[in-house]
Structure 1
Amino acid sequence: MRTQGIGRRTTQRIGRTTRTWTALAAVGALALTGCGGDADGDGSKEDPPAGGSGTPRASVELPKLAGEKIEVAAVWTGPEQENFTKVLKEFEKRTGATVTFVPAQDPIVTFLGTKVAGGQPPDVALLPQVGALVSAVQNKWAQPLGPEAQAQLDKNYSPGWKALGAVGGTQYGVYYKAANKSLVWYNAKAFKAAGAQVPKTWKEFLTTADTVSASGVPAVSVGGADGWTLTDWFENIYLSQAGPEKYDKLAKHEIKWTDDSVKQALATLAELFGRKDFLAGGQSGALATEFPKSVTQTFTGGEQPAAAMVFEGDFVAVNIAQTEARIGTDALVFPFPAVGAKSPVVSGGDVAVALKPSKGAQALLTFLASPDAAEIQARQGGFVSPNKAVDFAAYPNDIQRDIAKALIAAGDDFRFDMSDQAPAAFGGTPGAGEWKALQDFLKNPADIAGTQARLEADAAKAYGR
């Protein structure tokens, strides 16, 4: 699978403006003040929505589909899957269709290829990588967006998010879900007990990690069993340290992974991964920890959790909701610390695409492109939509509301997840490519040169160079 065509799209080359930093700074300020918490002392885990009754609105007209059966595939599990199911239930209510969620596995391109080969593709799939969309189009699986869905997309999305769902000038996908993947969530009680300060720079982050670890609580919980979390660590450091131009070139493999800028980023990451006392369970424990556990173990145990911090996107809120921690009081957040001049802003997302030329598939894409669908899932927490028509009051607390506002305020000024732009063989396959190379690096952070060599060999093979 090749992604050079995607690299030429303007979305991945756009620079950041002051709006991005100002908006994200608001999230950091919110974390420091603890807004959105249990100000009234009523014990509630989250604030109620700022406005509205919580009743799903109906801003888009959908066809009647009584008797039609629709399958939707995605790699979501647990609370994320449960929350999306609520969206599908509303679609069923409005159309009369029966919708079945089909759990997919990574890499989703392989999963879908098996379904297509067996003559049973799902009607709609939500793809977590840009490269997966390109592959679906190249394999002639994907169906172009119909006029009703296109109208919703034109009305509710910025040009950048629309471009990410297009291939070769044809619109195929709707970015239903977005993510701000440049956030660090922390346990407020553990920070207070340690006397730790919220950092703004990488140097301050390491000092905070030292302070927390000295108190008897490991600083950071890393979900190393899921290799994609490690790519997110690398990408945030690389973007802040090497800058957006280098980031764009590495994303398209226009520079090699043996470049000195990669060496510097890995050396910076090794300052964290190389400290066994900084990591919950040390390196071996981190490699055995899956992403959901990396979050929940950070927010259980009172002042003595398994770790004081966990890095990942806004979707962490879904997993925090599975604990007793209250977002805005017990669980706070700050922007990924600046390694270079500024903190990074890395975004990701899931694009919905029709794999069957059916009326039901296009109707579901129309629904997913409307604010109606996104507002249902936004109320559940741990979800951010790039749909600019979504009512911010739908988000359940001030922290998540401000994260959503920052995303919309940034407009097209962001960098998309680098591994998600890559061919799936390199950037999106468990036990292979970048995921495996960075897992090996977590196991042995001193082997920077060997890690670079493996990354370059795998990238060259995946990009066909």
Structure 2
Amino acid sequence: MGENNAPIGRRTVLRGAGGGLVVLTGLGSAGGVSAQEAITVTAVWTDDEEEDFLAVVDYAEDETGLEISYAPRDTETLLTETLMDYEVGVATADIVVLPTEGRVQRDGAAGHLEPLGDLWDEDDYATDYSAVEVDGEVYAAPFGGDIKPGFWYRPSFFDEHDLEEPEDYDEFVDLLDEIDDIDGVEAPLASGNGDGWPLSDVAEAFILRQDDGAELQLDLIEGDASFTDDRVVTAFEELQELLEEGYFSEVRDFGVQYEFFWENEIPLYFMGSWTPAFGAIEDPEDLDYFMLPGSEAMVTSINWFTVPAYAPDVDAATDAVEAIISPDGQEVWTERGGFVPTALDVPDDAFDLEVMQDISEQADEVELVPDLDDALGDPFQAEFWSQLLGLWAEPEQDVEPMLESLDDVLQETVGEDET
């Protein structure tokens, strides 16, 4: 993906592909580390985020007396390997962290997961049981929430060039035009990629800025709205116009784009709350963001901890999950930056950076909606990512046939969930 195949951060290629870390299918069962030796966790965090999560693991080990090991996978590998393993009754790891609640519900309904509702009280967390509940059983426990607040920028760059945050969409387009004329700028907007996201996050922002955008997003997830809705068409036409104007950069791995962002070569980057923790961000104090004008909602995506029904020691795995998702466990990562806890009892002063506190406070003031493709899962998610990559490659195409195709897959996905 992109120009640099080295992994940088969340949902990217496996670091072990070059020979460092080897991740085996069925890690928690035959041929892998047994539950008696260590509780194994697999998730999508690598590099800086892996270090942050390992600090939480240290806390959980002290609390439980368990040995806990961690092996990262990229999103596609995680979703594919677990599906194959579960079908033959194998636990890919003792604890599997899934970024897609749609997949949690499917795995729970299929009998692949242990119920975890007893580990957390929905009144104490910033989410409800319903997101991962099937027939009265809750099949996952919430860890950090990834909030997608808007376009990140460096205040020092804005100050140097007398730029201001836009108040409306016309001012947003004017801002892009101003930035585009600055020497050394490749393009105003970053096009990050990792199998099709975070282009999907950008697309969702444009859906949310339409009339009743939050309700529209929820209706799309439930199958009560069509991807050919006039508002979705408008959102994609707005994206298309910006692409045709050359306001979006070349598509690169999303982690690599942070380097271009920090060097002010691509000064605006629609990205998540994990941004301040990335290694390319040399001074997190020189970060701020603004919502896409017209938006009155933010997308939030939760990292869900699950325990496969095939884990050798389910009780030990659930003990580890309980410690990790606790307010004290989540506070460990919160203090390190780039993390928004789902546990409501994490104190406000745990945020080391003002911008992280700002995101948390603004999230309390706007409507929060689920990530569209994460909530739906495949086959919609894969098709959504594919079509967006196609739009970025050929922005002059007619968007309506693309949206008709996406709507067909949307209805297929929702139909599968209802059966």
In structure 1, what is the Cα distance between the partners aligned to 2:47 and 2:134?
Answer: 31
- The answer to whether the 8 Å contact 2:334/2:351 transfers is yes
SS of the residue 1:262 aligns to: helix
1:211–1:364 Cα change, 3 Å:
same
5+ residue gaps, structure 2: 1-34
Would you say 1:426 and 2:380 are equivalent positions? Answer: yes
Deviation string for 1:361-398 (max 9, x for gaps)? 11122113311111111111111012110012111111
In structure 2, what is the Cα distance between the partners aligned to 1:69 and 1:146?
Answer: 24
Cross-structure match for 1:156: 124
Cross-structure match for 1:374: 330
- TM-score with structure 1 setting the length: 0.75
Which of these residues, 362, 369, 384, is aligned with residue 406 of structure 1? 362
In structure 1, what is the Cα distance between the partners aligned to 2:401 and 2:117?
Answer: 48
In structure 2, what is the Cα distance between the partners aligned to 1:75 and 1:454?
Answer: 29
Cross-structure match for 1:416: 370
1:68–1:156 Cα change, 3 Å:
farther
In structure 2, what is the Cα distance between the partners aligned to 1:105 and 1:359?
Answer: 27
CA RMSD in angstroms comes to: 2.2
SS of the residue 1:350 aligns to: strand
Cross-structure match for 1:34: none
The one-letter amino acid paired with 2:319 is A
Cross-structure match for 1:257: 227
In structure 2, what is the Cα distance between the partners aligned to 1:267 and 1:255?
Answer: 18
1:364–1:146 Cα change, 3 Å:
farther
Cross-structure match for 1:137: 108
Would you say 1:454 and 2:409 are equivalent positions? Answer: no
Would you say 1:204 and 2:162 are equivalent positions? Answer: no
In structure 1, what is the Cα distance between the partners aligned to 2:225 and 2:241?
Answer: 24
1:150-189 equivalences under 5 Å are 150=120, 153-154=121-122, 156-158=124-126, 160-189=127-156
- The answer to whether the 8 Å contact 2:258/2:281 transfers is no
In structure 1, what is the Cα distance between the partners aligned to 2:336 and 2:41?
Answer: 20
Cross-structure match for 1:351: 304
In structure 1, what is the Cα distance between the partners aligned to 2:92 and 2:193?
Answer: 31
Which of these residues, 318, 323, 329, is aligned with residue 362 of structure 1? 318
User: Could you tell me how far 1:67 is from its partner in structure 2?
Assistant: 5.2
In structure 2, what is the Cα distance between the partners aligned to 1:354 and 1:118?
Answer: 13
User: Could you tell me how far 1:247 is from its partner in structure 2?
Assistant: 2.2
Which of these residues, 390, 394, 400, is aligned with residue 444 of structure 1? 394
1:145–1:464 Cα change, 3 Å:
closer
Deviation string for 1:209-267 (max 9, x for gaps)? 10011112221112035412121112121122041332222222333222322211101
- The answer to whether the 8 Å contact 1:379/1:394 transfers is yes
5+ residue gaps, structure 1: 1-65
Cross-structure match for 1:121: 92
In structure 1, what is the Cα distance between the partners aligned to 2:81 and 2:276?
Answer: 28
1:421–1:225 Cα change, 3 Å:
closer
In structure 1, what is the Cα distance between the partners aligned to 2:327 and 2:53?
Answer: 14
In structure 2, what is the Cα distance between the partners aligned to 1:267 and 1:424?
Answer: 25
In structure 1, what is the Cα distance between the partners aligned to 2:92 and 2:277?
Answer: 29
SS of the residue 2:143 aligns to: strand
1:156–1:344 Cα change, 3 Å:
closer
SS of the residue 2:266 aligns to: coil
In structure 1, what is the Cα distance between the partners aligned to 2:91 and 2:298?
Answer: 38
SS of the residue 2:256 aligns to: helix
Which of these residues, 302, 318, 325, is aligned with residue 277 of structure 2? 318
Cross-structure match for 1:269: 239
The one-letter amino acid paired with 2:223 is H
- The answer to whether the 8 Å contact 1:237/1:344 transfers is no
Residue-pair matches, total: 373
- The answer to whether the 8 Å contact 1:174/1:351 transfers is yes
Question: Percent identical across equivalent pairs?
Answer: 23
The one-letter amino acid paired with 2:96 is A
1:234–1:122 Cα change, 3 Å:
same
Deviation string for 1:310-366 (max 9, x for gaps)? 1111111122x4332x223x222222322xxx4332211111111136121111221
Deviation string for 1:35-91 (max 9, x for gaps)? xxxxxxxxxxxxxxxxxxxxxxxxxxxxxxx95521111122221122111111221
